[in-house]
Amino acid sequence: MTQIRLVRFGVLLLCIFSFFAYALPKTAYAATDTVKAVSTSAGGSTCAIMTDGSLKCWGDNLSGQLGYDDTVNRGGNAGDMPALAAVNLGTGRTVKMVSTGGEVTCAVLDNGTLKCWGRNTFGQLGYNDTTDRGGNAGDMAALGTVFLGAGRTAKAVSIGQSHACAILDNGKLKCWGNNSNGQLGYDDTTDRGGNPGDMAALGYVALGAGRTAVSVSTGLSATCVLLDNSKIKCWGYNAHGQLGTDDSIDRGGNAGDMAALNTINLGAGRTARAVETDGLSTCAILDTKQLKCWGANDGGELGYDDLVDRGGNRGDMAALAPVNLGAGRTAVALSISDHTCVVLDNKSLKCWGANDAGGLGQDDTVGRGDNSGEMAALNVVNLGAGRTAKTVDAGIDSTCAILDNDRLKCWGYNGLGQLGQNDTVDRGDKAGDMAALQPIIFTSGGGDGGTTKRRCVLEVPENTSMCDLRYSDLSSVDYSSVGWDFSAVDFRYSDMSMSTFRNINFSNSNLAHVNFAYSVLDGVDFSNTNLDRAYLRNTSMRGVISGGIVGSDLDLPADWRLVQGFLIGPFANLTNKAINNSNLAGAQLMYAQLAYANLASSQLQGADLSGSDARGADMSYTNLSGATLRWSTVMWSNFSFADLTGANLSGAFLAGANFHGANLSGADLTGADLTGVNWQDTICPDGTNSNTHNQTCVY
């Protein structure tokens, strides 16, 4: 029977291999060469979270900040990067977020715990002592978690030169380490984290009554926070006006400083989407997606075509103009160091400021942003033919960017191997450098890059379970025409980007961490499939059956439909996404990021949105009957004419929400914040019309 089967497929295989020999990409890359996040430090070290959630670090390792139980630099010698192991963070642990700075690295793990290693002179590692970690044999295996309070976990972390701050699961902020300029925000200059009991006694930073933190950025001796009301507060060192307070007075180091701290004036009616500081200069992306920068400007890093500091004199912030990013261009992501880099709305990248080693990516060492007309004439960084940027991180004299294909490119100063090119040659400072720059190559279990594994799929299409398909390269292929059955197969960490899988059976398969970017998955059966952290950016998913994704970065088409089951799991990030008219009935969206998402006319009946951030989301005409929004943040959301019959809104933050014409019959509003809610023509929880109660359901 085996011989008959082989003969039967012989002719087919000849045709298939003839086609694939020409059709398959000649530069296919292993899934283990792709990254999800990158962080560079002023000291010359770089860390990247790989697509499988592991962490790899290279560059300067003077204090063990790379986490390899030694003080040996990596990335500057032949073979360093292919040999680079994952940092040991504990059996089965993966990384959600990493921050590097001042010879320190901190990582938020998948279970919300925090680990830090490297230099610990001021207790910045948060272990109640001043002992360095990560530089001696056994350090990482023995590394404990930072104590953030009983039952508390971390959502985000940021490392400055010698202090650290973490946003906790309750949105509160804690900071520790060096406090010489009040950068910890405790109204004194006492260091914390270096003495027994420090972390247990560590209180929350006072951000203002009822305020929580959305993001935090730390620098030399300063800290900035984006608050839940989209405003910014900064404290610590302020010699250059980097706190945006129209003076040069430090804040956070004297009694009453934090209680009196005002939010930064970004312009009349303006709020912020993001803030970044290096401790000397600060930039913010506004709600309009314009960019404003203030503080030190000795290299033109503020982007105003001069060398004038801003933010330290009366009226500076009110007069601050947006940075010229090019005609019609706006900012999506930013990073600031001695130079500033911004990912634009068209996914191109621009950098300006100091350029001593080519960190601006302009194939020279000429600074930009410090002379008249330079910003208007600024070219985008050459990332390679057809390549664009997803995110950027700037270190001193160097820059790293994650590209649209999830590859990582770094350029600028490379004296410590921080560019990951297996040498110490600077890049970006000479003609032709950027065009010739190759992405960093990692290998961590990718085997032969998937060549053998792809062949295995082709040779035994009736029984793919015979193959080990983890880390396979299955990209850029149309799998619809042969009738593949991919059920009950382990595809973890595989690259399936830019492929077509119409009406393919993936039921009972393991597709965790698979890269499906730019693929077609119409009519696919994901019944009982593990899609944990699968990457679905720009993927077509119409008529998909069942499945579950946890924490994925989704960019779904507006007319996407789900036939049955749920496709979006807890912690999903749908910020600013347009998924109107979608069927998300019963979806698990606990703690999801839904801020400003367009969910208009969608089906969300019975969905669990507990703890989600849905600020400003459009849910007009949406069916939310029986949905759970306990403890959710839905301020300024539009629920006009939505069906919220029997919905659980207890403890939700609903300030400023619009319930015009909505049906809240039987809804639970116990303990909800209803400040400024629009109740016009609303059916109240007791079934009465709000118009009979002076347009309110609170009576």
- The one-character DSSP state at 430 is S
Please name the residue ranges forming H helices in 524-623: none
pLDDT at residue number 579: 65
Structure confidence at residue 594 as a pLDDT band (50, 70, 90): confident
pLDDT for residue 375? 98
Region 142-151 average pLDDT:
97
Measure the CA angle with vertex 380, ends 375 and 386; round to 5°. Answer: 165
pLDDT grade, residue 442 (50/70/90)?
confident
- In the chain, the percentage of residues whose pLDDT exceeds 70 is 83
Query: pLDDT tens-digit profile of 74-88?
Result: 999 888 998 899 999
pLDDT greater than 80 at residue 582: no
Tell me: pLDDT of 682 over 50.
Answer: yes
Taking the CA of residue 623 as centre, how many other CA atoms within 13 Å lie in the half-sphere pointing to its CB? 12
How many angstroms separate the Cα of 373 from the Cα of each of 349, 512, 635?
18, 49, 41
Give me the pLDDT at residue 449, please.
35
Minimum mean pLDDT range among 51-60, 120-129, 496-505, 576-585: 576-585
Higher pLDDT, 655 or 119: 119
Model confidence at 15, pLDDT cuts 50, 70, 90, reads very low
CA distance 414 to 427: 8
DSSP 483: T
Q: How buried is 576 (Cβ within 10 angstroms: 0-12 exposed, 13-18 middle, 19+ buried)?
A: middle
- Stated as kind and residue range, the H or E segment containing 316 is helix 316-319
Averaged pLDDT of the chain: 85
Strands 544-545 and 562-564: parallel
Q: Is the pLDDT of residue 635 over 50?
A: yes
- Whether the predicted pLDDT of 592 surpasses 80: no
pLDDT of residue 19: 30
Instruction: Give per-residue pLDDT as tens, 388-407.
Output: 999 999 999 999 999 998 99
* Whether pLDDT at 14 is above 50: no
- What pLDDT is recorded for position 598? 72
**Strand, helix or coil for residue 292:** strand
Q: What is the pLDDT of residue 479?
A: 78
- Structure-model confidence comparison of residues 342 and 533, the more confident one: 342
Give the per-residue pLDDT at 561. 53
Asked if 44 contacts 416 with a C-beta cutoff of 8 angstroms, the reply is: yes
**Taking the mean position of all CA atoms in its chain, how far away is CA 332?**
12
* Rounded Cα gap, residues 660 and 638, in angstroms: 8
Q: Is the pLDDT of residue 316 over 80?
A: yes
Q: Encoding tokens for residue 223? A: 């800290």
Q: Which of 289-293, 443-447, 651-655 has the highest mean pLDDT?
A: 289-293
- How far apart, in whole angstroms, are the C-alpha atoms of residue 506 and residue 358? 47
Residue of 543 and 190 predicted with greater confidence? 190
Q: How far apart are CA 108 and CA 152, in angstroms?
A: 13
Q: Residue 573: what pLDDT?
A: 63
Q: For position 659, what pLDDT does the model report?
A: 94
Q: How does pLDDT run across 457-488, given as a tens digit for each residue?
A: 444 444 454 455 777 777 888 877 666 778 77
Stronger pLDDT, 447 or 588, i.e. the higher one: 588
What pLDDT, on the 0 to 100 scale, is given for residue 629? Answer: 80
Q: For position 448, what pLDDT does the model report?
A: 34
User: Poorest-confidence range of 11-25, 267-281, 430-444, 541-555?
Assistant: 11-25
Using alpha carbons only, how large is the chain's radius of gyration in Å? 26
Is the per-residue pLDDT at 284 higher than 80? yes
Taking the C-alpha atoms of residue 234 and residue 215, their distance in angstroms, rounded to an integer, is 12
333 in Cβ contact with 343 (< 8 Å): yes
pLDDT of residue 611: 72
Contact 587, 548 (CB under 8 A): no
Q: Which residue has the higher pLDDT, 27 or 126?
A: 126
Give pLDDT tens digits for 158-173: 999 999 999 999 999 9
pTM: 0.64
Q: What pLDDT band is residue 625 in, cutting at 50, 70 and 90?
A: confident
The pLDDT-based confidence of 8 (bands split at 50, 70, 90) is very low
Burial (Cβ within 10 Å: 0-12, 13-18, ≥19) of residue 489: buried
Residue 569 has pLDDT above 80, yes or no: no
pLDDT at residue 501, as a whole number: 87
Neighbours of 7 (CB within 10 A): 9
Instruction: Decide if pLDDT at 297 tops 60.
Output: yes
